[in-house]
Amino acid sequence: MYNQNQAEIFTSGNEGVCSLASIFDEIPDIYKNREALSHRFVPEGLPHREGELKELASYLKHAIKNFTPPNILVLGHTGTGKTVTVKKVLGELSRVVGDKVDIAYLVASGTKFQILNEIAMELNPNVSFKGLGFKEAWNRFRRMLDKDKITIIVLDEIDKMLPSESDLLYFLSREERVCIISISNKINVLDMITDRRVLSSFNPIKMVFPKYNAEQLGDILEYRAKEAFYDGVLDNEVIPLCAAFAMDREGDARYALDLLMYAGDEAIRRMNSKVTVEHVKIARKKLEEDFIRNSIRNLSLTQKLLLFAVMKKEGESPRSIYTLCNEYLERYTGNTLTHRRLSSLLGDLELYGFVTYERRGRGRGKGTRWSLYLNDTLDRNLIISVLKEELAEERRV
């Protein structure tokens, strides 16, 4: 148990021992509400999304009169406010109609069974289809739908369930009194549905959310910062710089907000009571590192080994990299892969921006030679240290 005497040991006036009693007081208090910058926070207003809010509301208004709204597909780049806009309108709808409309929101990843189970649990937390087959689960799901009400199901990031689980979309979209709101970053997501039956029964109204420009991002940040920070905490250039950096990420508002929060945290860590441009620059670096860390974590073991081989043999030909990679593979898994397979995995690494190919002529009639390099915009030390951590972990497993 916590013992007050323990605290007193530190406050006994002993030179060189810090006083715990005031340790929190010394830390600058810059946040009024740090949560207001988080991903989960649904803000009161959404600057520059008035049109989208109204359009969505115009479709969903039918539910107030107990008619089924049309199915909707919300498209747009990451961080254009799709999820928050949909949540906002649905929040307002349920405020107006109370429990006369059933609403389920979920990210549509997993098998059709898992997704169906999650929808059911969203509608009624006591329901679980565990242990059932999909058919049986579907039949039970149909029975639990209350046909006196409209049911609205939001399938966020719907591309994750396509095309493999598109059956579920077919079944859901054929149900009466069910409205499906789907959301995706992939502009061509409908092309992922190959079955014409699914397309014709789903048949959504499309809404495309445009990217934010720097000025709009500035307004959004300003708005969220008002809630998050005390007055006067942010230097004048902080928000414009966050907005400018986010423009390099196609106007991603989530990234802009993350930058602002990391910058605020950095200021506190350095015991500064003002957030400055310096803090934003450090925040950008940290976010970059997090991003790289996550990207490497998401690679397969073979891709990690392949990337490691590229770094060991930079400037060499694909063939010599495949050979080294197979040596590693042999040690880690006891198996090797064909050059053809490795070449396709290497292609993925190029696509993700980890490696680049350079083409060198060998002189007339002697064909060309390819050399492989780590993408030089990346921080090599960071990549090596993350790869080493990851590979040690794989070994342990």
Ligand X SMILES: Nc1ncnc2c1ncn2[C@@H]1O[C@H](COP(=O)(O)OP(=O)(O)O)[C@@H](O)[C@H]1O
Instruction: Give CA separation, 113 vs 19, 141, 163, 164, 316, in Å.
Output: 56, 11, 15, 12, 47
Question: Please, what is the minimum distance in Å from the beta carbon of residue 113 to ligand X?
Answer: 25
Question: Please, what is the minimum distance in Å from the beta carbon of residue 104 to ligand X?
Answer: 17
Told to check if 78 binds ligand X by CB under 6 A, we report yes
Told to check if 184 binds Mg ion by CB under 5 A, we report no
Told to check if 49 binds ligand X by CB under 6 A, we report yes
CB nearer to ligand X: pick between 21 and 42: 42
Question: Please, what is the minimum distance in Å from the beta carbon of residue 210 to ligand X?
Answer: 11
Cβ-contact 59, 69 below 8 angstroms: yes
Q: How far apart are CA 295 and CA 303, in angstroms?
A: 11
Residue 48 interacts with, from Mg ion, ligand X, none (CB under 5-8 Å by kind): ligand X
Q: Which of residues 7-46 bind ligand X (CB under 6 A)?
A: 39, 43, 46
CB nearer to Mg ion: pick between 184 and 326: 184
Q: Which positions from 58 to 87 touch Mg ion by CB under 5 A, shown as an x/- string? A: -------------------------x----
Question: Please, what is the minimum distance in Å from the beta carbon of residue 190 to Mg ion?
Answer: 18
Told to check if 117 binds Mg ion by CB under 5 A, we report no
Residue nearest to ligand X (CB): 81
Stretch that binds ligand X, among 2-10, 97-105, 249-257, 268-276 (CB under 6 A): 249-257
Stretch that binds ligand X, among 216-224, 281-289, 299-307, 332-340 (CB under 6 A): 216-224
Told to check if 303 binds Mg ion by CB under 5 A, we report no
Contacts with Mg ion by CB under 5 A lie at 83
Contacts with ligand X by CB under 6 A lie at 39, 43, 46-49, 76, 78-84, 220, 223-224, 253-254, 257
